[in-house]
Amino acid sequence: MNHYKKVAEGLLNHADIAIDGSRPWDMQVHNEELYRRVLSDGSLGLGESYMDGWWDCKRLDEFFYRAIKADLESKIKTDIRTILNLIIAKTFNLQSKSRAFLIGERHYDIGNDLFRAMLDKRMTYSCGYWKNAKNLDDAQEAKLDLVCKKTGLKPGMKVLDIGCGWGSLAKFAAERYGVEVVGITVSKEQVKLGRELCKGLPVELRLQDYRDVGGKFDAVISIGMFEHVSYKNYRTFMETIHRCLKDDGIFLLHTIGNNKSKVNADPWINKYIFPLGMTPSIAQIGAAAENLYVIEDIHNFGPDYEKTLMSWYQNFQKSWPLLRDKYDNRFKRMWDYYLLACAGNYRARGSQLWQIVMTKPGREQPKCRIG
Protein backbone atom coordinates (compact mmCIF):
# COMPACT_ATOMS: atom_id res chain seq x y z
CA MET A 1 0.00 0.00 0.00
CA ASN A 2 1.47 3.36 -1.01
CA HIS A 3 1.70 6.23 1.45
CA TYR A 4 -0.98 8.36 -0.24
CA LYS A 5 -3.50 5.52 -0.22
CA LYS A 6 -2.88 4.89 3.46
CA VAL A 7 -3.49 8.56 4.29
CA ALA A 8 -6.63 8.60 2.13
CA GLU A 9 -8.03 5.50 3.81
CA GLY A 10 -7.43 7.05 7.22
CA LEU A 11 -9.30 10.21 6.22
CA LEU A 12 -12.21 8.37 4.60
CA ASN A 13 -12.54 6.18 7.67
CA HIS A 14 -13.69 9.28 9.60
CA ALA A 15 -16.67 9.47 7.23
CA ASP A 16 -17.37 5.72 7.14
CA ILE A 17 -16.36 5.56 3.48
CA ALA A 18 -14.32 2.62 2.19
CA ILE A 19 -12.14 2.27 -0.89
CA ASP A 20 -13.52 -0.41 -3.23
CA GLY A 21 -16.20 -1.28 -0.66
CA SER A 22 -19.61 -2.76 -1.37
CA ARG A 23 -21.85 0.04 -0.05
CA PRO A 24 -23.40 2.62 -2.41
CA TRP A 25 -21.33 5.48 -0.94
CA ASP A 26 -17.97 3.66 -1.12
CA MET A 27 -15.36 4.79 -3.69
CA GLN A 28 -14.48 2.48 -6.58
CA VAL A 29 -10.95 3.42 -7.59
CA HIS A 30 -9.74 2.81 -11.17
CA ASN A 31 -6.41 4.64 -11.04
CA GLU A 32 -4.00 4.33 -8.11
CA GLU A 33 -2.66 7.83 -8.82
CA LEU A 34 -5.95 9.14 -7.46
CA TYR A 35 -4.73 9.36 -3.86
CA ARG A 36 -1.71 11.52 -4.63
CA ARG A 37 -3.77 13.75 -6.89
CA VAL A 38 -6.51 14.38 -4.33
CA LEU A 39 -4.13 14.90 -1.41
CA SER A 40 -2.09 17.32 -3.52
CA ASP A 41 -4.94 19.25 -5.18
CA GLY A 42 -7.79 18.83 -2.69
CA SER A 43 -11.31 19.56 -3.92
CA LEU A 44 -10.11 20.37 -7.43
CA GLY A 45 -8.22 17.08 -7.69
CA LEU A 46 -11.18 15.08 -6.41
CA GLY A 47 -13.57 16.60 -8.94
CA GLU A 48 -11.23 16.50 -11.91
CA SER A 49 -10.25 12.89 -11.23
CA TYR A 50 -13.94 11.95 -11.21
CA MET A 51 -14.44 13.75 -14.53
CA ASP A 52 -11.44 11.80 -15.87
CA GLY A 53 -12.98 8.47 -14.80
CA TRP A 54 -10.36 7.70 -12.14
CA TRP A 55 -13.04 6.74 -9.63
CA ASP A 56 -16.75 6.08 -9.35
CA CYS A 57 -19.43 5.83 -6.69
CA LYS A 58 -22.98 4.51 -6.99
CA ARG A 59 -24.36 7.28 -4.77
CA LEU A 60 -22.21 10.38 -5.04
CA ASP A 61 -24.77 12.33 -3.02
CA GLU A 62 -24.33 9.91 -0.11
CA PHE A 63 -20.54 10.00 -0.49
CA PHE A 64 -20.55 13.79 -0.13
CA TYR A 65 -23.13 13.76 2.65
CA ARG A 66 -20.76 11.63 4.73
CA ALA A 67 -17.59 13.47 3.72
CA ILE A 68 -19.05 16.90 4.48
CA LYS A 69 -20.72 15.82 7.72
CA ALA A 70 -17.35 14.46 8.88
CA ASP A 71 -15.68 17.75 7.80
CA LEU A 72 -12.96 15.93 5.87
CA GLU A 73 -11.91 19.14 4.14
CA SER A 74 -10.55 20.54 7.40
CA LYS A 75 -8.45 17.41 7.89
CA ILE A 76 -6.61 17.81 4.58
CA LYS A 77 -3.62 20.14 4.59
CA THR A 78 -4.31 23.30 2.58
CA ASP A 79 -2.36 23.26 -0.67
CA ILE A 80 -0.43 26.19 -2.14
CA ARG A 81 -2.99 26.70 -4.93
CA THR A 82 -5.77 27.27 -2.40
CA ILE A 83 -3.58 29.75 -0.53
CA LEU A 84 -2.85 31.66 -3.75
CA ASN A 85 -6.55 31.75 -4.68
CA LEU A 86 -7.35 33.11 -1.23
CA ILE A 87 -4.73 35.86 -1.61
CA ILE A 88 -6.10 36.77 -5.05
CA ALA A 89 -9.68 36.90 -3.74
CA LYS A 90 -8.67 39.21 -0.90
CA THR A 91 -6.50 41.45 -3.10
CA PHE A 92 -8.57 41.89 -6.26
CA ASN A 93 -12.25 42.56 -6.96
CA LEU A 94 -12.92 39.50 -9.09
CA GLN A 95 -16.50 40.58 -9.72
CA SER A 96 -15.80 44.02 -11.12
CA LYS A 97 -18.11 45.36 -13.83
CA SER A 98 -15.67 44.27 -16.52
CA ARG A 99 -16.08 40.65 -15.36
CA ALA A 100 -19.80 40.76 -14.60
CA PHE A 101 -20.89 38.88 -17.73
CA LEU A 102 -18.39 36.02 -17.35
CA ILE A 103 -20.79 33.85 -15.34
CA GLY A 104 -23.42 34.26 -18.05
CA GLU A 105 -21.04 33.16 -20.77
CA ARG A 106 -19.49 30.28 -18.82
CA HIS A 107 -22.59 28.81 -17.16
CA TYR A 108 -26.01 30.17 -18.06
CA ASP A 109 -25.29 30.40 -21.80
CA ILE A 110 -24.08 26.80 -22.24
CA GLY A 111 -27.42 25.67 -23.63
CA ASN A 112 -31.10 26.41 -23.10
CA ASP A 113 -31.79 22.83 -24.16
CA LEU A 114 -29.90 21.55 -21.12
CA PHE A 115 -31.73 23.78 -18.66
CA ARG A 116 -35.12 23.15 -20.26
CA ALA A 117 -34.56 19.43 -19.84
CA MET A 118 -33.31 19.68 -16.26
CA LEU A 119 -35.51 22.32 -14.66
CA ASP A 120 -39.23 22.61 -13.93
CA LYS A 121 -41.75 23.74 -16.54
CA ARG A 122 -41.19 27.40 -15.60
CA MET A 123 -37.38 27.06 -15.84
CA THR A 124 -36.69 28.22 -12.28
CA TYR A 125 -32.99 27.68 -11.53
CA SER A 126 -33.05 28.09 -7.74
CA CYS A 127 -34.26 26.24 -4.65
CA GLY A 128 -37.91 25.18 -4.61
CA TYR A 129 -40.18 25.36 -1.57
CA TRP A 130 -41.29 21.81 -0.75
CA LYS A 131 -43.43 22.33 2.37
CA ASN A 132 -46.65 21.16 0.67
CA ALA A 133 -45.24 20.20 -2.73
CA LYS A 134 -45.30 16.73 -4.28
CA ASN A 135 -43.09 17.43 -7.29
CA LEU A 136 -40.59 19.96 -8.68
CA ASP A 137 -43.18 21.99 -10.59
CA ASP A 138 -45.27 22.41 -7.45
CA ALA A 139 -42.22 23.29 -5.33
CA GLN A 140 -41.06 26.00 -7.71
CA GLU A 141 -44.50 27.52 -8.09
CA ALA A 142 -44.88 27.52 -4.29
CA LYS A 143 -41.53 29.33 -3.99
CA LEU A 144 -42.54 31.99 -6.51
CA ASP A 145 -45.88 32.51 -4.77
CA LEU A 146 -44.16 32.72 -1.38
CA VAL A 147 -41.85 35.44 -2.71
CA CYS A 148 -44.77 37.42 -4.11
CA LYS A 149 -46.64 37.21 -0.80
CA LYS A 150 -43.60 38.18 1.27
CA THR A 151 -43.10 41.31 -0.85
CA GLY A 152 -46.81 42.19 -0.70
CA LEU A 153 -47.29 42.42 -4.47
CA LYS A 154 -50.51 44.05 -5.67
CA PRO A 155 -51.83 45.03 -9.13
CA GLY A 156 -50.13 48.12 -10.53
CA MET A 157 -46.89 47.76 -8.59
CA LYS A 158 -43.54 47.97 -10.34
CA VAL A 159 -41.01 45.25 -9.46
CA LEU A 160 -37.27 44.91 -10.10
CA ASP A 161 -36.05 41.31 -10.47
CA ILE A 162 -32.24 41.19 -10.15
CA GLY A 163 -30.96 37.94 -11.64
CA CYS A 164 -34.20 37.17 -13.47
CA GLY A 165 -33.02 34.03 -15.25
CA TRP A 166 -35.45 33.00 -17.98
CA GLY A 167 -38.16 35.17 -16.44
CA SER A 168 -39.95 32.62 -14.27
CA LEU A 169 -40.65 35.02 -11.39
CA ALA A 170 -41.39 37.94 -13.72
CA LYS A 171 -43.92 35.90 -15.68
CA PHE A 172 -45.53 34.44 -12.55
CA ALA A 173 -45.80 37.80 -10.79
CA ALA A 174 -47.20 39.54 -13.86
CA GLU A 175 -49.79 36.83 -14.50
CA ARG A 176 -50.86 36.11 -10.92
CA TYR A 177 -50.36 39.47 -9.20
CA GLY A 178 -50.85 41.98 -12.00
CA VAL A 179 -47.53 43.76 -11.53
CA GLU A 180 -45.08 45.27 -13.99
CA VAL A 181 -41.61 43.73 -13.88
CA VAL A 182 -38.15 44.78 -15.02
CA GLY A 183 -35.80 41.80 -14.94
CA ILE A 184 -32.04 41.90 -15.43
CA THR A 185 -29.54 39.13 -16.12
CA VAL A 186 -25.98 38.81 -17.46
CA SER A 187 -26.92 35.86 -19.70
CA LYS A 188 -27.65 36.48 -23.39
CA GLU A 189 -29.38 33.12 -23.74
CA GLN A 190 -31.63 33.77 -20.75
CA VAL A 191 -32.73 37.11 -22.15
CA LYS A 192 -33.39 35.61 -25.59
CA LEU A 193 -35.60 32.78 -24.37
CA GLY A 194 -37.05 34.72 -21.45
CA ARG A 195 -38.44 37.40 -23.75
CA GLU A 196 -40.22 34.72 -25.75
CA LEU A 197 -41.69 33.13 -22.62
CA CYS A 198 -42.89 36.50 -21.26
CA LYS A 199 -44.26 37.81 -24.56
CA GLY A 200 -47.48 39.79 -24.20
CA LEU A 201 -46.95 40.52 -20.50
CA PRO A 202 -45.85 43.79 -18.80
CA VAL A 203 -42.35 42.34 -18.44
CA GLU A 204 -39.08 43.85 -19.66
CA LEU A 205 -36.00 41.62 -19.54
CA ARG A 206 -32.63 43.30 -19.95
CA LEU A 207 -29.04 42.17 -20.43
CA GLN A 208 -27.61 44.42 -17.72
CA ASP A 209 -25.31 44.51 -14.71
CA TYR A 210 -27.09 45.31 -11.45
CA ARG A 211 -24.87 48.35 -10.88
CA ASP A 212 -26.35 50.04 -13.95
CA VAL A 213 -30.03 49.79 -12.97
CA GLY A 214 -32.01 53.01 -12.52
CA GLY A 215 -35.55 53.93 -11.55
CA LYS A 216 -37.75 53.42 -8.49
CA PHE A 217 -39.59 50.22 -7.62
CA ASP A 218 -42.24 49.12 -5.13
CA ALA A 219 -40.39 45.87 -4.57
CA VAL A 220 -36.92 44.56 -5.40
CA ILE A 221 -36.41 40.80 -5.54
CA SER A 222 -33.18 38.90 -6.10
CA ILE A 223 -33.33 35.11 -6.32
CA GLY A 224 -30.14 33.06 -6.66
CA MET A 225 -28.01 35.93 -7.94
CA PHE A 226 -26.26 37.24 -4.80
CA GLU A 227 -23.92 34.22 -5.00
CA HIS A 228 -22.30 35.90 -8.04
CA VAL A 229 -21.76 39.30 -6.42
CA SER A 230 -18.57 38.59 -4.38
CA TYR A 231 -17.96 39.90 -0.88
CA LYS A 232 -16.09 43.00 -2.09
CA ASN A 233 -19.31 44.15 -3.77
CA TYR A 234 -21.90 43.25 -1.13
CA ARG A 235 -22.17 46.82 0.08
CA THR A 236 -22.42 48.17 -3.47
CA PHE A 237 -25.20 45.66 -4.18
CA MET A 238 -27.14 46.75 -1.09
CA GLU A 239 -26.64 50.44 -1.91
CA THR A 240 -27.83 49.91 -5.49
CA ILE A 241 -31.05 48.30 -4.28
CA HIS A 242 -31.51 51.02 -1.65
CA ARG A 243 -31.31 53.60 -4.44
CA CYS A 244 -33.90 51.74 -6.54
CA LEU A 245 -36.32 50.88 -3.73
CA LYS A 246 -39.13 53.26 -2.82
CA ASP A 247 -39.16 54.38 0.80
CA ASP A 248 -42.19 52.18 1.56
CA GLY A 249 -40.95 49.28 -0.60
CA ILE A 250 -39.83 45.77 0.30
CA PHE A 251 -36.61 44.00 -0.69
CA LEU A 252 -36.39 40.21 -0.69
CA LEU A 253 -33.02 38.47 -0.99
CA HIS A 254 -33.05 34.73 -1.76
CA THR A 255 -29.54 33.33 -1.50
CA ILE A 256 -27.46 30.28 -0.70
CA GLY A 257 -25.61 30.86 2.57
CA ASN A 258 -22.47 29.68 4.32
CA ASN A 259 -22.29 28.72 7.98
CA LYS A 260 -19.10 30.77 8.26
CA SER A 261 -17.66 33.79 6.48
CA LYS A 262 -15.40 33.06 3.51
CA VAL A 263 -13.88 35.14 0.74
CA ASN A 264 -13.45 32.43 -1.89
CA ALA A 265 -15.37 29.52 -3.36
CA ASP A 266 -14.71 25.81 -3.65
CA PRO A 267 -11.92 25.49 -6.28
CA TRP A 268 -13.70 22.86 -8.39
CA ILE A 269 -17.04 24.71 -8.39
CA ASN A 270 -15.21 27.93 -9.23
CA LYS A 271 -13.36 26.40 -12.19
CA TYR A 272 -16.09 24.30 -13.76
CA ILE A 273 -19.52 25.52 -12.64
CA PHE A 274 -19.77 29.05 -11.21
CA PRO A 275 -16.63 31.08 -11.97
CA LEU A 276 -15.83 33.86 -9.52
CA GLY A 277 -18.81 33.02 -7.33
CA MET A 278 -19.02 32.68 -3.57
CA THR A 279 -21.76 32.27 -0.98
CA PRO A 280 -22.21 34.71 1.90
CA SER A 281 -22.60 34.24 5.63
CA ILE A 282 -25.25 35.96 7.73
CA ALA A 283 -22.47 38.14 9.17
CA GLN A 284 -21.43 39.32 5.71
CA ILE A 285 -25.01 40.04 4.66
CA GLY A 286 -25.67 41.88 7.91
CA ALA A 287 -22.57 44.04 7.56
CA ALA A 288 -23.50 44.95 4.00
CA ALA A 289 -27.07 45.86 5.02
CA GLU A 290 -26.12 47.83 8.14
CA ASN A 291 -27.62 51.34 8.36
CA LEU A 292 -29.45 50.76 5.06
CA TYR A 293 -32.17 48.28 6.01
CA VAL A 294 -34.28 46.85 8.76
CA ILE A 295 -34.12 43.06 8.52
CA GLU A 296 -37.73 41.99 8.94
CA ASP A 297 -37.53 38.26 8.44
CA ILE A 298 -35.02 35.45 7.82
CA HIS A 299 -36.43 32.17 6.55
CA ASN A 300 -34.12 29.16 6.17
CA PHE A 301 -35.33 26.25 4.07
CA GLY A 302 -31.93 24.88 3.09
CA PRO A 303 -32.97 21.19 3.28
CA ASP A 304 -35.37 21.89 0.40
CA TYR A 305 -32.36 22.43 -1.86
CA GLU A 306 -31.43 18.77 -1.52
CA LYS A 307 -34.85 17.78 -2.92
CA THR A 308 -34.54 20.37 -5.67
CA LEU A 309 -31.08 19.19 -6.73
CA MET A 310 -32.07 15.53 -6.71
CA SER A 311 -35.05 16.38 -8.91
CA TRP A 312 -32.77 18.23 -11.33
CA TYR A 313 -30.42 15.23 -11.34
CA GLN A 314 -33.26 12.82 -12.13
CA ASN A 315 -34.49 15.06 -14.95
CA PHE A 316 -30.96 15.29 -16.32
CA GLN A 317 -30.60 11.49 -16.34
CA LYS A 318 -33.93 11.01 -18.12
CA SER A 319 -33.02 13.61 -20.73
CA TRP A 320 -29.43 12.51 -21.34
CA PRO A 321 -30.27 10.40 -24.46
CA LEU A 322 -31.55 13.61 -26.09
CA LEU A 323 -28.55 15.68 -24.94
CA ARG A 324 -25.64 13.32 -25.53
CA ASP A 325 -25.10 14.35 -29.16
CA LYS A 326 -24.27 17.90 -28.00
CA TYR A 327 -22.58 17.26 -24.64
CA ASP A 328 -19.83 14.65 -24.24
CA ASN A 329 -19.38 12.07 -21.51
CA ARG A 330 -16.88 14.22 -19.60
CA PHE A 331 -19.52 16.94 -19.41
CA LYS A 332 -22.04 14.41 -18.11
CA ARG A 333 -19.67 13.29 -15.36
CA MET A 334 -18.99 16.93 -14.48
CA TRP A 335 -22.70 17.77 -14.33
CA ASP A 336 -23.54 14.63 -12.30
CA TYR A 337 -20.76 15.52 -9.87
CA TYR A 338 -22.01 19.10 -9.54
CA LEU A 339 -25.64 18.18 -8.83
CA LEU A 340 -24.93 15.28 -6.49
CA ALA A 341 -22.11 16.93 -4.56
CA CYS A 342 -24.34 19.91 -3.90
CA ALA A 343 -27.25 17.65 -2.88
CA GLY A 344 -25.00 15.86 -0.38
CA ASN A 345 -23.81 19.20 0.95
CA TYR A 346 -27.34 20.38 1.74
CA ARG A 347 -28.22 17.01 3.25
CA ALA A 348 -25.26 17.44 5.62
CA ARG A 349 -26.37 21.05 6.37
CA GLY A 350 -23.07 22.33 4.97
CA SER A 351 -24.92 25.20 3.26
CA GLN A 352 -28.22 26.98 3.84
CA LEU A 353 -30.89 28.69 1.76
CA TRP A 354 -32.09 32.00 3.14
CA GLN A 355 -34.92 34.28 2.13
CA ILE A 356 -34.34 37.60 3.86
CA VAL A 357 -36.96 40.35 3.83
CA MET A 358 -35.69 43.92 4.32
CA THR A 359 -37.20 47.40 4.40
CA LYS A 360 -35.88 50.91 4.76
CA PRO A 361 -35.79 52.34 8.31
CA GLY A 362 -38.97 54.15 9.30
CA ARG A 363 -41.35 52.06 7.23
CA GLU A 364 -44.24 50.33 8.94
CA GLN A 365 -43.42 46.66 9.52
CA PRO A 366 -44.82 44.52 6.71
CA LYS A 367 -46.76 41.35 7.41
CA CYS A 368 -44.29 38.86 5.95
CA ARG A 369 -45.56 35.38 5.30
CA ILE A 370 -42.96 32.69 5.90
CA GLY A 371 -45.15 29.72 4.98
Q: How do residues 36-67 score in pLDDT, each as one tens digit? A: 999 888 899 999 999 999 999 999 999 999 99
What would the pLDDT profile of 226-262 be if each residue is shown by its tens digit? 999 988 999 999 999 999 999 999 999 999 999 999 9
Q: Is the pLDDT of residue 82 over 50?
A: no
- Report the pLDDT averaged over residues 190-212: 97
Question: Could you tell me the pLDDT band of residue 89, with boundaries at 50, 70 and 90?
Answer: very low
Q: Are 140 and 149 in contact (CB under 8 A)?
A: no
pLDDT score of 99? 53
* Residues 319-326, mean pLDDT to the nearest whole number: 96
The pLDDT score that the predictor gives to residue 313 is 98
Cα–Cα distances in Å, from 231 out to 237, 244, 265, 279?
A: 10, 21, 11, 9
Please report, for the chain, the start and end positions of each structural domain, with discontinuous segments joined by +.
Answer: 3-77, 97-359
With contact defined as beta carbons under 8 Å apart, do 256 and 342 qualify? no
* Cα–Cα distance measured from residue 282 to residue 83, given in angstroms and rounded to the nearest whole number: 24
Q: Which of these, 256, 223, 273, lies nearest to 349 by C-alpha position?
A: 256
Q: What is the pLDDT of residue 3?
A: 84
Catalytic (active-site) positions: 342
For 320, other C-beta atoms within 10 Å of its C-beta total 15
pLDDT by residue (tens digit) across 164-188? Answer: 999 999 999 999 999 999 999 999 9
Q: Which residues of 193-227 are buried (b: 16+ CB within 10 A; e: fewer)?
A: bbbebbeeeebbbeebbbeebeeebbbbbbbbbbb
Band (pLDDT 50/70/90 cuts) for residue 87 is very low
Q: pLDDT at position 93, please?
A: 45
Fold annotation for 97-359? Rossmann fold (3.40.50)
> Which pLDDT value is given to residue 132?
96
Q: Report the percentage of the chain scoring pLDDT > 90.
A: 84
Q: Which residues of 5-21 are buried (b: 16+ CB within 10 A; e: fewer)?
A: bebbeebbeebebebee
Alpha helices by DSSP H, 34-167: 34-51, 60-69, 80-91, 102-103, 112-118, 136-150
